[in-house]
Amino acid sequence: MRGSTPGLRRAAFGLCLLVSAGAAAQETYSFDVSAFEKKPFELSGYGELRGEAFELDQDAALYQLGFFDREPRSDFERGSGTLELRGLFRHGDTMAQFVGHSTYQDDFTGSAQDSRLYEAYVSHQPDSGTRYDLGKKTLSWGKGYAWNPVGFIQRPKDPNDPDLARQGFVIAGADFVRSFSGNLKTLAFTPLVVPTYGDANADFGGPLDTGDHANPAAKLYLLYKDTDIDLMVLGQGSRSARYGLDFSRNISSNFEIHGEWAHIGRTSRPVIGPAGSITPRESGATSYLLGLRYLTENELTTIIEYYHDGAGYSEDELSSIYAAVHDAYAQYQLSADPTALSRLRTAFQPVLMQPNPGRNYLYLRMSQNQPFDILYFTPALTVITNLDDHSYSVAPELTYTGVSNLELRFRVFWLKGDRLTDFGEKQNDRRAELRVRYYF
Amino acid sequence: MARSLYIGLITIVLAFTGAPALAAAKVDGDKLLREIDRSLNPESYEAYRKLINIEPDGRKKEYVLFTVKKGRDKLIALFLDPPSEKGRATLRLGDNMWLYIPGVGKPIRITSLQSVVGGVFNNSDILTLDYSVEYKAQKVEEQGKDYVLDLKARTGSVAYDRLVMRVDRKTLLPAEIRAYAASGLLIKTLHFSQIKDFGGGIVRPSVLETDSPLYKGYKSVMIWARIRARKLPDEVFTLNYLPRAGELR
């Protein structure tokens, strides 16, 4: 049946060449691969310009905390420019990589420039199943899209921009991978240390940690029965001991589910005590996340995640903090004594400025791929709700990538909630943002 | 003599009526599909591909991919160009698919119906396994110089529920594939052309043009270059190796 002999096959090839000549005559395509050979050194990255307009809520606790000693304002604009460079150098089985990130920002407070080395590490891979890493590297543990409770050795994500690159920590680690046939297809073990000696990883344990620690950690990954499963642990050191697991699995060609679970031995957060004083709340914490990604036939992608942060503030804790800020602000306006507000700012601003300081959240993102036959155009809508106090943020977004290497994104945030609620007490009520990014 | 005449008459009648159907009925569709797979690629190979999305006004957007495949169901596709996509790598192990984006730093699970690059191609078109792995032949017909195979997805996790594949009977190379959703909706049509000798006994179409009634006026083109047989360790086809997929070139 098949033209399996070489002569017959070549004859058929000749015949097909003649037949396909007609089609080829219509349009001929060519492709020279020599430009894409592996090179010893590669450099890439992007440049970005971003304009933002903020409409402030002068009655909100976070406005009062941030602006009580500044000229009152109802809005402000901010412009920023970013350059991110990625470099790679190859030498045999060894590879050196770096990611540099520089930002220049200008708003009513003045201009500021910040440059950081996000990553700078060396990898040695003697064979396909073994790798050693040394240097500053960004790890991304967890399956969640907006949050990662098992992200024990990484900086927290911004759920409003979860795909942004983040700064890593200095590590020494290894990766051992084996593949099998059967239900268990892949088994990988990743041990590492995150040393805090001298200036290395000085912010890993937080401002109160001054000790030297090796901070051992490990992750075990299994691809078992078409399900990704990770088990991870971080030993006691600069951070308290913690362990967790995650999973993800495709249910069908358009439906994926994932989840994370983590337990942290000890967490500490400032709260308002019964007598109105600031006291630390210390406890263990269990956090978890359940999520799904669903794609309809007309290419509407929906991501839903429920996140319980065991260390987060309950509704009562958050409202007591906001009430304390309002009381201190009222007192300040009468007496011009900033002592109480300054004390609250020092204690709470670092925690409350995190995108989601509460305990229970629901994340919903819907993005429509190329609606109305417009290629490279993606409208999306993101809603983040604090399930305890029912406050929320809504962010419609438009992205266009039709021009090669250029990405345009416009989005607006609306924050809604009653007084003494999470999103109701944020610094701004509305924010508009235009981002232009060029890749090279 | 009369018996021979009778058989001869039947043969002539069948030749003009039911003969193709009878002949096709003898064809083992799944075996034929496996042979079509091998006429397209070695079971384990590496290849460079260029994808071109062409808009109705003639504007083009191009992507370059490096692909390695092992066995029936292991495949990696790495974007080499344009810079906005460079370093993105997709891994497929059977029905499982993951996407690695350098900035994000971890592979995330994706679904076969999603589109990594936009345009008419989706992940399943880019991360193509052997057809015989994903489809079962329901019917084979001979039509002129072609076989026409009616293929049904083996599982619900395959991107297209049904394919109608027109294949040259002599070369066993596909000329056209029509892809349908479970609802019977025609999702896209793939046209193979420009047969090329890649060396090492690999002779196959070097161009695949795709159009879709869902994207009227738009067209996507995939061009193959430098396909060659290659053996790789299984550990290459893992999430841990995916960030280093560029080293396989």
CATH topology of domain B27-248: outer membrane lipoprotein receptor (LolB), chain A (2.50.20)
pLDDT digits (tens, 9 = 90+) for B42-68: 999 999 999 998 888 888 889 999 999
> In chain B, which residue's Cα lies nearest the Cα of A437?
B84
**Contact call for B106 and A32, based on CB within 8 A:** no
CB atoms within 10 A of CB B161: 19
Indicate whether A34 belongs to any domain: no
| B8/chain A closest Cα distance in angstroms | 24
CA distance B48 to A367: 31
Q: Is residue A67 part of a domain?
A: yes
CB contact under 8 A, B171 and A23: no
For residue B49, CA distances in Å to A427, B2, B66, B115, B221 come to 50, 61, 6, 17, 10
**How many helices, marked H, and strands, marked E, lie in chain B?**
5, 13
Does residue A5 fall inside a structural domain? no
**From the CA atom positions of chain B, what is the Rg in Å?**
20
Selecting from B64, B157, B240 the residue whose C-beta is nearest the C-beta of A175 gives B240
Give the pLDDT confidence of B65-122 residue by residue, as tens digits. Answer: 999 999 988 999 999 999 998 999 999 888 788 999 887 878 888 876 666 665 566 6
Does the pLDDT value for residue A172 go beyond 50?
A: yes
Residues facing residue A87 across a β-bridge: A43, A98
Q: What is the pLDDT of residue A336?
A: 92
Residues in a beta bridge with A105: A80, A112
* Residues of B with Cβ-Cβ distance to A404 under 8 angstroms: 61-62, 82, 84
Give me the torsion for CA of B189, B193, B195, B201, rounded to 10°.
-10
- Model's pTM, two decimal places? 0.86
CA dist., res. A113 & res. A298, Å (int): 44
- Asked if A37 lies within 8 A of B35 by C-beta distance, the reply is no
Residues A268, A311: Cα–Cα separation, whole Å: 8
Closest to B68 in 3D by CA, of B99, B96, B43: B43
pLDDT band of A18, cuts 50, 70, 90 = very low
Q: What is the CATH number of the domain that holds A429?
A: 2.40.160.10
For the record, the structure tokens of B66 come out as 């490096």
Per the CB < 8 Å rule, is B226 touching A223? no
Q: Which residues pair with B212 in a beta bridge?
A: B215
Contact call for A165 and B103, based on CB within 8 A: yes
DSSP state of A314: P
Query: What's the gap in Å between the CA of B1 and the closest CA on chain A?
Result: 33
For chain B, the structural domain boundaries read 27-248
Residue B40: what residue type? L
- pLDDT, tens digit, for every residue of B178-212? 999 999 999 999 999 999 999 999 999 999 999 88
Residue B126's alpha-carbon distances to A10, A143, B35, B141, in angstroms, are 29, 24, 21, 28
A145 near B CB under 8 A: yes
Comparing CB atoms, the residue among A140, A297, A404 nearest residue B82 is A404
Min Cα separation B7/chain A (Å): 25
Residues of chain A above pLDDT 70, percent? 93
Residue A161: name the closest of A82, A257, A263, A276 by CA: A82
Average pLDDT over residues B208-227: 88
Q: Is residue A19 part of a domain?
A: no
* pLDDT single digits (tens) A239-262: 999 999 999 999 887 899 999 999
Q: Residues B82, A44: contact at Cβ < 8 Å?
A: no
Nearest alpha-carbon partner for B236 in B227, B228, B245: B245
Which residues constitute the domain of residue A198? 39-439
Q: Is the pLDDT of residue A99 over 50?
A: yes
Burial of A35 (0-12, 13-18, 19+ CB in 10 A): exposed
Q: Is A33 on the interface with B (CB under 8 A)?
A: yes
Identity of the residue in A166, A179, A293 whose CB atom sits nearest the CB atom of B234: A179
Closest chain B residue to A28 measured between Cα atoms? B194
Distance separating alpha carbons of residues A185 and B208, to the nearest angstrom: 33
C-alpha distance from B143 to closest chain A C-alpha (Å): 15
Residue burial A21-33, b: 16+ Cβ < 10 Å; e: rest:
eebbeeeeeebeb
Report how many domains make up chain A. Answer: 1
- φ, ψ for residue A259, nearest 5 deg: -165, 160
Q: Other C-beta atoms within 10 Å of A229: how many?
A: 16
Nearest CA distance, B192 vs chain A (angstrom):
9
Selected residues 105-124 of chain A with any CB under 8 Å from a CB in chain B: 123
Instruction: Verify whether the Cβ–Cβ distance A9 to B203 is below 8 Å.
Output: yes
Residues in chain A within 8 Å Cβ distance of B80: 36
pLDDT score for A381? 98
Cα-Cα-Cα-Cα dihedral of B29, B32, B36, B41, to 10°?
Answer: 110
Residue A11 lies in a domain: no
Residue A15, pLDDT score: 42
- Mean per-residue pLDDT for A378-401? 97
CA distance B183 to chain A (A): 10
Question: How far is Cα B173 from Cα B190, in angstroms, rounded to an integer?
Answer: 13
* Helix, strand, coil percent values for chain A (each to nearest 5): 15, 50, 35
Residue length of chain A: 440
